[in-house]
Amino acid sequence: MADRIFSFGAKPVSRLATVASLRSAKGRHGAFAQVTADTSEEAAAAEMAGIEMITCRAANVRHVRQGSEAVFVTAALGFAEAITDDEILRAAFGALTDGADAVITGRRLDIVSLLASEDIPVMGHLGFVPRKSTWVGKVRGVGRSVDEAEQLFHRFRRLEEAGAFAVEAELVAAPLMAEITARSDLVTVSLGSGPAAEVQFLFTSDICGDGDFRPRHARAYGDLERLRRQIADERVSALKSFREDVAAANFPDINETINVDETLIHELLKRIAPSP
C-alpha cells in the first residue's frame, strides 16, 4: 500500500516506500526490492511488477517519474557532473525537485554530512565500488580477510555517523553482511551481498537477461538478449528482401504508387509538347 506524503517539490504524492517505512523495516530481510531504471518505460514496468524502489542517474529522474509516481527513487550523483560542495548540493536539490526521494553518493564522508545536514536522505555505497575498483585490483568480493572485514565494519559505522540513512552494500561476503547489518541502524541494500538486508537490489538489465555478460550474483528471469538478436536478424532479412525486390523490379507495385487517370497525362503532354 502506498503512503501519502509530500515530495521535496512540495507536491502531494503516494509512495510505495518512504525513508520512514524503510527504517521501520530494519531487520526484515527482503522487505523491499530495488532495480535500476533510466527511462519512463523501465520505471512503469518496475511499478507494474510490484517493485518498490528504483535507482537512476540524477539527470534521468524526470524521465523515471513520467513512468511511475509511486516508486521510491534514489538519484545517483555522478562523480563528474557535480564536483564542488556547491555543485553537489545543487545536483542533489535538483534531483529531489525533479521527483527523487533520496540520493546516493560514493563521495567522502563530509559530503554525506553536508547533504544530511540539509535533511536530504543520503544512501552511501560500500563494499565493492566499481568506480574505485583500481584500489582492490579486480572485481571481487569484499570482506574475505579479518582485516578487510574489520575495515568494512568501521566504514559502515562512520557512514552512519556521517548521517546516511542507508547503504548500498555491493559484493560483501554474505556472513559478514549479516553480522554488520545486525549491528547497524543503516537500511542495508544488498547488491550481491546475500539475503541479510532490508532491500534486495539487482540491475534491470541482469534481471531481464539484456546482454551477453551476467554477474555471478545476478539471476536472469528473462532473455531480452535473444529477442534483440531476433530483432537484428529480422531487420537484416527485411532489408535484404527489399533490396532484392528493387533489383527484380518487384517494388513498388500498383498498391504502393499514386495513380491518376490517363486523360490527365494526355492533356499534360499536349500542353508541354513543343510547338511545330
> Annotated active-site positions, please?
170
Measure the CA–CA gap between 228 and 226, rounded to whole angstroms: 5
C-alpha to C-alpha distances, 108 to 112, 158, 169, 249, nearest whole angstrom = 7, 11, 16, 67
Q: Helix, strand or coil for residue 242? A: helix
Q: How many CA atoms lie within 13 A of 142 on its CB side?
A: 27
CA-based nearest residue to 115, from 162, 58, 68, 46: 162
Neighbours of 123 (CB within 10 A): 25
The three cell numbers of residue 235 are 531487420
Cis peptide before 215 (omega within 30 of 0): no
8 Å CB contact between 171 and 193: yes
8 Å CB contact between 181 and 188: yes
